[in-house]
Amino acid sequence: MVVEKQQSEQLEQRISPWVIVGTILFIGVIVFAVVQYWDFLSEIAVDPSKLRDLVKDAGPWGPLILIIIQYLQLLLAPIPGTVASVLAGTMFGPWLGTLYSMIGAMLGTLTVLVLSRRLGRPFVERLVKEETLKKLDYLAHRAGVLVFFLIFLIPVLPDDIICYLAGLSKLPIKTLMVVSFVGRLPGYLVAAFVGAGLADSNYTLVIIVSSLFVLATVIGYFKRQEIEKLTRKWIYRHPKA
């Protein structure tokens, strides 16, 4: 285990400074674009039909627009990821819709993890509220693979914020990416199937899938304190899990 940890740390240290600089410049361009089009992005959050029209009007570039939207919602934009995922299923079907959503989400996750890992806690403190950071700070120091997986998997838990804290942990970025992918996939699949069901007027599918998702969300919401307590207990009993 020690050897694997050292190898992973050495691998991450080999990342070229030019890659880091390029990533920061890329984020700078994204931030500039978001500032310029913030009003429009805010309108999308209130009226998802504007996002649908944007993707539709883009023609063959529609999938790319959707991927960018998913990327932005994870980093900074006020667009709910579920809304974009449902739209993806409506316009591209459940499988392609899930694929496009996951590409955007995973690119966003990678960006957040790399920036948090390289720029450190001061960077995270500027983006995460102090109250939230204090409440979840223990995750960055002691959480293992299982804990992060459950957070990404269970609805209503702040998985986007957790990405910033995960970047401060000692877990390899490759491991965190795998955990994020496996944990997020069920939720994106559900949203895409709901969207596809709406597009095909298959309301039976929509009702079944939505009911399961709502049930999981309600359970996650009312049991969130218990989940956090169990998470803390697990961390301190199995700090390397």
Domain ranges of the chain: 2-237
Output the six-digit token pair for 127: 């983006």
Kindly state the helix (H) or strand (E) to which residue 170 belongs, with its residue range: none
- Number of residues in the chain: 241
For residue 103, the 8-state DSSP code is H
Average pLDDT per block of 10 residues along the chain, 241 residues long = 46 55 63 59 63 83 89 70 82 93 92 88 83 76 78 74 87 89 88 85 76 70 63 55 50
Nearest to 103 by CA among 187, 188, 28, 167: 188
pLDDT in tens, 62-75: 899 889 888 888 87
Residues 6+ apart with CB under 8 A from 241: 144, 145, 146, 147, 234, 235
User: According to the model, what pLDDT value does residue 79 have?
Assistant: 61
User: According to the model, what pLDDT value does residue 236 have?
Assistant: 53
User: According to the model, what pLDDT value does residue 18 have?
Assistant: 64
Output the six-digit token pair for 100: 């496009």
3-class SS of residue 172: coil
Residues 6+ apart with CB under 8 A from 74: 81, 104, 105, 108, 109, 112, 160, 163
3-class SS of residue 171: coil
In one-letter notation, the amino acid at residue 128 is V
